[in-house]
Structure 1
Amino acid sequence: MPPRTCRRSKNRISGHWHSSTSPLLTSTSNRVLYVVSLNHATNDGSVYLLSSLFPIVLALFNISVFQVGIIVALGYLVNILFQPVVGHYSEGRDPGRLLAIGIAIITVSVVSFVFATGFLSLLTSVIFLRLGSSFFHPVGISTISKSYGGPRLQKSMGFQSAFGNVGVLLVFLISASLYLEVGWRATFVVFAVWTLADVILTLTLLRGRHSAASDDPQTPSSSKPQTKRTIPVFFVLAAFISGGSYAVILNFANIFLGTRAHLDVSQANLIVSAFIAFASLGAIATGGWTRFVPTNVLLAISYIVASGSIAAFTLLSGNAILATITLLATGFSISATYPLTYTELSRYLGSIGQQSGRSFGVLSSGQTIGASILGLASGYVSQFLSLEVSFGSVAILALIGSVSAVFWIKNMNRRAY
């Protein structure tokens, strides 16, 4: 058996560089992991900063819930359009510089909220913010995937993913209280300082690194349609439902709690923060459960729990305690569907002898498209019908997710025989 060294070998299927346990390489990889994780927290926290203040925005700028839906939908749409462009451009380039550029754009956009005067100026700032946030996922996730392999890759992906939730959690915990203490402008200045500090740290610690992707042979163009053919509709539907449901709750739950439970924005955001915390637990906990229960079965169960808990939240949201309990169950179950869907897709692709990053890109796009469409639809339904109808519709979608998962299980069982 050869001794452990710093040598790295490339997996011919996935294209990932798998490293040994050399202390120097491990130290470098860990530094990359920590910086990328901080970027994830900054990126996602900044993206949802305005969402955490939507109850205030409605009154301060005299906009409607439907206009909130437009802001949410167009924000996600920018990510849908620009993430593939950034992903293509980033191949072979310095990831530290690209991540810093993205966070720098976010910094400028956060400052621009200081000068917002109404719906159009808010929308412009959000579009610019989402342009900056389009850098992180294609660049940051790719950097992690090229720095680790095997079990360490799974743990590293979970670690950086959790930091994204930590960033959103911090924003929902402190933004409203900060606004009540120092006002609108100072609140965004504080968060701009946070993002600027992240830019400096990223440039300092990741300077000079280059993507290993430039060493890869180019994937034949003939493989592109193959990817589309081998991704069953079930996965796209699951991604759409999960991404859309999570987005509706993050962007509209504090408004809903304010109108139904008569909570102020700080109290409502505290409940949403608990939702985010349990969402992080749900994403992490499922990794251990898959050793005892098949992934597709866990996915079906998660959607059933999500459907029931969202329906219960809709009905019981007038009581703050019951609303909190039901929303915690929703966060845990909805977030669990993310890693479970990716794992099930990976298992399926392995069963047919195919591994492709484009397959996971389709899944990510499905989540974002779901967030955009359901964000707009929820704003419209909430404005012209009611918030109750909006959240009730999300519960029905989660139920559809569970039914589709059951059919997927039956289909896979038939394939096994």
Structure 2
Amino acid sequence: MAIAAPLKEKPVQRPETTMYSILLIIGICHLLNDSLQAVIPAMFPILERSMSLTFTQLGIIAFTLNMVSSVMQPVIGWYTDKRPMPYALPLGLTSSMLGILGLAFAPSFLTILCCVFFIGLGSAVFHPEGSRVAYMAAGNKRGLAQSIYQVGGNTGQAMAPLITALILVPLGQFGSVWFTLVAAIAVLFLIYIAKWYKDRLIHLRAASKKSPAAAVQTVITKPIILALIMIIFLIFARSWYVSAIGNFYTFYAMNAYHVSIQQAQSSIFVFLFFGAVGTFLGGPLADRFGKRNVIIVSMMASAPLTIFLPFAGPVIAYGVLALIGVVLMSSFSVTVVYAQELVPGKIGTMSGLTVGLAFGMGAIGAVALGALIDSAGLTPTMTAVAFLPVLGLLAFVLPSDKTLKEWHS
């Protein structure tokens, strides 16, 4: 039975016009931001050979990147809910630009960790504020708006295999210096977004003074806490599985099927590319069929596919990875919107919490899975993580969309 309890706060009053131009630009910025992050796992095969790093050390690099972003995202989201900071967006990408520049010249494992810290910090600033911009520009199409925003990030992450094959394999570690240009472009776009964001805040503040009833003061009840816990478990299952594929399936394919780095990376690209497709489709589907329904179908329908993948073979694996990407990642943007509507008035906090958790769970998963591979072996580990989406059964406990509306009506 779904969690249910009445709540009598007024919903956030938002304009009904959907600002597609702003959504497109913030989506492109998300693509550019996450393509910078994609450089890190894309460098794993290069660093593993050039610096003789262990799987555990590679996991620690991923942990540093994702954990910095995970811990800081909800903190920044909470702070900017109280004091919005439009120009934090370009400042965050500047931090990432400095990190990616240092990464090209990093001589040691510790230096790499330091550079990755700055990239993670930039990401922590960008994600909750970028999600807030998408919310402000959404009008009455929250699912679609969040999908446009999130699909940019998933597309950027999907760039990792192409970055490896086309840039890092021929140019090595120094090839990452070219991504400072990517960061600079993102900073310019975000200066424009920050100006719109600032003007929009002025308009909203003026409207709130005319209509004080539009203000939201959400009471965090026990049913809301339980629903958030369920969301956290679902994010855990999805993030650990995505971490396993994104960070270690390359090595699994090379070991099990004896393919080259480029061929193994191409399978990751398929997974991430179709994951971006699924991210985009999830929002409109949630607007039409309900967020809870999309989350349930996403998790449960992907479970048989993930269990079959380790036995699929090198050719069929491409199709299976594509299907897993579409189905599993269709819930990514939907969980963000679900959390925002679960606790209205805390847009930055909820987006920082859900997206930050995805990063953080992926970070913990990278370290844990790397250590497990070192101790238990690659094949047993990749086979075991295939059962993680089965935890999607917990989605049946979530309150329905109708219940959420009743809570806040």
Q: Give TM-score, length-normalised by structure 1.
A: 0.80
Q: Distance in 2 between matches of 1:205 and 1:234?
A: 34
Structure 2 gap ranges (5+): 1-8
- Aligned pairs for 1:16-415 (under 5 A) are 16-20=13-17, 29-91=19-81, 92-95=83-86, 97-151=87-141, 153-185=142-174, 187-204=175-192, 206-207=194-195, 209-210=197-198, 212=201, 215=205, 223-224=219-220, 229=225, 231=227, 233-287=229-283, 296=292, 298-316=294-312, 319-342=313-336, 349=342, 357=347, 358-359=349-350, 361-401=352-392, 403-406=393-396
**Which AA in structure 1 matches 2:315?**
I
Does the 8 A contact of 1:306 with 1:395 survive in 2?
no
1:14 Cα deviation from its structure 2 partner:
4.2
Q: Distance in 1 between matches of 2:397 and 2:172?
A: 52
RCO higher in structure (CA 8 A, sep ≥6):
2
Does the 8 A contact of 2:286 with 2:293 survive in 1?
no
**Which AA in structure 2 matches 1:262?**
H
Does the 8 A contact of 1:37 with 1:164 survive in 2?
yes
C-alpha RMSD over aligned residues:
3.3
Q: Distance in 1 between matches of 2:223 and 2:346?
A: 7
Q: Give TM-score, length-normalised by structure 2.
A: 0.82
1:17 Cα deviation from its structure 2 partner:
2.9
Q: Distance in 2 between matches of 1:296 and 1:207?
A: 35
Does the 8 A contact of 1:99 with 1:135 survive in 2?
yes
Distance change >3 Å, CA 340–CA 161, structure 1 → 2: closer
Does the 8 A contact of 1:16 with 1:149 survive in 2?
no
**Which AA in structure 1 matches 2:369?**
S
1:154 Cα deviation from its structure 2 partner:
2.8
Q: Distance in 2 between matches of 1:300 and 1:93?
A: 34
Name the SS for the 1:144 alignment partner.
helix
CA deviations 1:294-343 (Å, max 9, x no partner) are: 65455344323322222222233xx3212212211221222023245456
Q: Distance in 2 between matches of 1:74 and 1:300?
A: 31
Distance change >3 Å, CA 315–CA 238, structure 1 → 2: same
Task: Give me the identity figure in percent.
Answer: 19
Q: How many residues matched?
A: 384
**Residue 4 of structure 1: aligned partner:** none
**Which AA in structure 1 matches 2:190?**
T
Name whichever of 256-265 and 227-236 sits farther off.
227-236
1:108 Cα deviation from its structure 2 partner:
0.7
**Residue 3 of structure 1: aligned partner:** none
**Which AA in structure 2 matches 1:382?**
I
Q: Distance in 1 between matches of 2:24 and 2:375?
A: 45
Name the SS for the 1:17 alignment partner.
coil
Q: Distance in 2 between matches of 1:195 and 1:105?
A: 9
Does the 8 A contact of 2:61 with 2:116 survive in 1?
yes
CA deviations 1:150-190 (Å, max 9, x no partner) are: 12x332221121111222223422333212333321x1111
Does the 8 A contact of 1:57 with 1:63 survive in 2?
yes
Structure 1 gap ranges (5+): 1-11, 21-25
Q: Distance in 1 between matches of 2:73 and 2:168?
A: 31
Does the 8 A contact of 2:41 with 2:160 survive in 1?
no
1:225 Cα deviation from its structure 2 partner:
6.0
1:224 Cα deviation from its structure 2 partner:
4.6
Q: Distance in 1 between matches of 2:270 and 2:95?
A: 29
1:120 Cα deviation from its structure 2 partner:
1.6
**Which AA in structure 2 matches 1:269?**
Q
Q: Distance in 2 between matches of 1:147 and 1:270?
A: 35
